[in-house]
Amino acid sequence: MFQLNKKIAVVTGGGSGIGKAVALLFAKQGAEVHVLDLNESSCTATINEIHQTDAKAFMHVCDVTVQEKVQEVFNEIDTVDILVNSAGISHVGNIENTTEDDFDRLFNVNVKGVFNCLRSAVFIMKKNKSGVILNLASIANNIGLADRFAYSMSKGAVYAMTLSVARDYIHEGIRCNCISPARVHTPFVDDFIKRNYPGKEDEMFEKLSKSQPIGRMAKPEEIANLVLFLCSDEASFITGCDYPIDGGFIKLNT
């Protein structure tokens, strides 16, 4: 079950964190994986790790906020069976202390970046009358999080785009779903804590870990397992859905 043999998968943000875990798992399950990431060294590391297993993988250093560059990459890949939109950034702040530059930065990466990849993939998938898209949303689009105004805005948009694409292309053989993780222990989180809570890294890591009722952050591999299921043929009847994977955060904290 959950084999991806002969599938061509694109994973954005595949150089680290959840995206990397997804890329590695997809390759293990037989997919040809195309990793898109802005960081060349991280992208190379993921590709090298996949190649050690003799699986097929290709790297594409790409800024997802630039539609022309995204389109060039997808034209080069040519056929896309699966798209996982994992690239994203975060920000701490409420509406009062979020600047216009902060807002634009979050919008460009988390919203426009997803839009650019969706648009390029849908053109290909529509032509082939098949395809699966999985977007990374967040618990922030399901529940109010303190000091996450711009981030919540961006992930709410990802959720809405997921529903729109699922509705518009259901008769074109394209499925589109999203997942909503709570906190996941990735370099993204470590850097976030380091930048925003200098000198209190251990304290904040413990606090953020225990904010999940399950008592810890998720592992990237646990998120990747759900992504694999939703992108596999075993999930062929699932579209237009959001799946929380949050250690009980949404239901048990409210």
Active site amino acids: 151
CA within 13 Å, CB half, 78: 2
Say how far apart CA 182 and CA 218 lie, in whole Å.
8
Say how far apart CA 73 and CA 28 lie, in whole Å.
23
CA within 13 Å, CB half, 221: 3
Cβ(36)–Cβ(62) below 8 Å:
yes
3-class SS string, 9-74: EEEECCCCHHHHHHHHHHHHCCCEEEEEECCHHHHHHHHHHHHCCCCCEEEEECCCCCHHHHHHHH
Strand order in the sheet with 8-12: 57-61, 32-37, 8-12, 82-85, 131-136, 174-181, 242-245
Q: Checking phi first, is residue 236 left (phi over 0); if not, alpha (psi -120 to 50) or beta?
A: alpha
Say how far apart CA 192 and CA 153 lie, in whole Å.
18
Give the other-Cβ count within 10 Å of 51's Cβ: 12
Structure tokens that stand for 133 in this block: 């898209």
